[in-house]
Structure 1
Amino acid sequence: MKQEAHWLKTMGSSPMIRWKKGQNIVTAQAVSEHFAVSYISVTIFTRLRLTLYRELHIISMIYCAFLGEYRRHLEEK
């Protein structure tokens, strides 16, 4: 069974392009919104991950400094 793709423009001030293949109708707007949401999600996740890494690095530096001072204190006794 041969399926044909039809490109149609809808009426309106900002026309949307529709792609019709079989019974599935996908609008260009829906596709762009999907990718926009995906991009925003990845961006937020990346920024949160970088913030978490930065905070963990700071905590690690503080812990190492504290541990170094504690060891020095034990060696003095």
Structure 2
Amino acid sequence: LVGQTLADANLRARTGASVIAILRAGQLMANPKSMTVFHVEDRVGLIGDKQETDAAEKLLAASESSLLDTAQNNEAV
């Protein structure tokens, strides 16, 4: 999801959870706009039931892991 806007990531449709805040470099963005882009190391505030927030957390974690794998593979080249 890193590099995608909230609109493109479409977390609510994919998981049912809504992004209500992003903490980036010590700055809180409450109610981020749909054109806000996810950055590496963003902390994301979610609202939804447990199943919805768990699903969103998995997507966010998978995105970060994928990014780390890509970075590590590029370093190995």
TM-score band, normalised by the shorter chain? 0.3 to 0.5
With structure 2 as the length reference, what TM-score do the two structures score? 0.37
Structure with more of its chain in helix, by fraction: 1
Name the larger-Rg structure: 1
User: Which fold has the larger relative contact order, with Cα–Cα distance below 8 Å and residues 6 or more apart in sequence?
Assistant: 2
